[in-house]
Structure 1
Amino acid sequence: MKFRYVYQKVVDLKSNEKTQAEWMLSAAVGQLQLEQHSLDQLFEEQSKTASVIQSQMENCAPMNKLQELQRYMESIEQAITRKISDVKRAEINVENKKMILNGKMLDEKVWLKAKEKARDKFQHEMLLREQNELDEMATVRFAMRAR
């Protein structure tokens, strides 16, 4: 007789939920990396613009050109501020997805442990049943020889 766990569908469901949580975490980490990359690009653009402003000042560029560069620099700084908040939101999302995944992993572990205990109990009962059958066969043989 083969072991069949009564709650196997629950175990499968918990495993699927864990897999989905892993995918969601992976997507959140990917989004965080995109936001961080975008922030890095903004910092590079800020650095390039600062060096352009510096070189324009050294070359005595017209005032309206410097003002235009300064406005551009301010817009980059605003974009950096927004992007920093986007990165923080993405980090919070990653942490939330990690917590969800930990919960799903714990659920799956509990159900797998219950399945393992049920399998151990089943195997123990099968061994007892086999032993009883062997004992009965031995008793019958002994009784037949005694006659």
Structure 2
Amino acid sequence: MKFHYAFQKIVDLKSNEKTQAEWMLSSAIGKLQAEEKSLNELYEMRDQMYRAQQEAASRCVPVAEIRNIQVYAEHLEECIERKRDDIRIAHVNVTKKQKVLSDKMLDEKVWLKARDKSQEKFRHESLLREQNELDEMATVRFAIRAR
């Protein structure tokens, strides 16, 4: 006799939910990494602008050009601040997705544990039935030999 768990579809559903939560977390981490990379690029661009501004000042470049470089550097600073906010939001999102995954993993574990207990109970009952059948066969043989 084969073991059949009545709630196997629920176990499968919980497993699928956990897998989905893993994908969502992976996606959130990917977005966070993209935001951090973008921030690093903004830092590099800002540093290039400051170096260009210093070079322009030392080479007697017109003030208007130095001012344009300064305005662009200030714009980059604003972009950096917005990107920092985006990174904070991405961190919060990653934390939320980690919590969801943790909950899904716990839920799946509960259902797997219930299935394992049910399977162990089935195995125990099967062994008892088999032992009872063997005992009955032995009793019948003994009764036949006793006649």
Superposition TM-score, scaled by structure 2 size: 0.98
Q: Residue in 2 aligned with 1:19?
A: 19
Task: Extract structure 1 runs of 4+ deviating beyond 2 A.
Answer: none
The percentage of aligned residue pairs carrying the same residue is 56
Q: Residues 4-46 of structure 1: CA distance to partner in whole angstroms, max 9, x if unpaired?
A: 0010000000000000000000100110111001000000000
Task: Out of 119-128 and 136-145, give the one that drifted further.
Answer: 136-145
Cα distance in 2, alignment partners of residues 67 and 134 from structure 1: 98
In the TM superposition, residue 57 of structure 1 has moved relative to its aligned partner by 0.7
- Give the TM-score normalised by the residue count of structure 1: 0.98
Aligned to 1:89: 89
**Unaligned regions of 5+ residues in structure 2, if any?**
none
How far apart are residue 63 of structure 1 and its match? 1.1
Tell me how far apart the structure 1 counterparts of residues 91 and 43 of structure 2 sit (CA, whole Å).
19
Look up the match of 1:98.
98
- RMSD across aligned positions (CA): 0.6
Residues of 2 paired with 1:137 and 1:108: CA distance? 43
1:60 paired residue number: 60
Deviation at 1:60, TM superposition (A): 1.6
Distance 2:3 2:89 in 1: 48
Structure 1 residue runs without a partner (length 5+): none
Summarize deviations over 1:84-108 as a string: whole Å, max 9, x none.
Answer: 0001111111111011001000111
Q: Distance in 2 between matches of 1:94 and 1:86?
A: 12
Give 1:3's aligned residue.
3
In structure 2, distance between residues paired with 1:90 and 1:96: 10
Residue 47 of structure 1 aligns with an amino acid whose one-letter code is: D
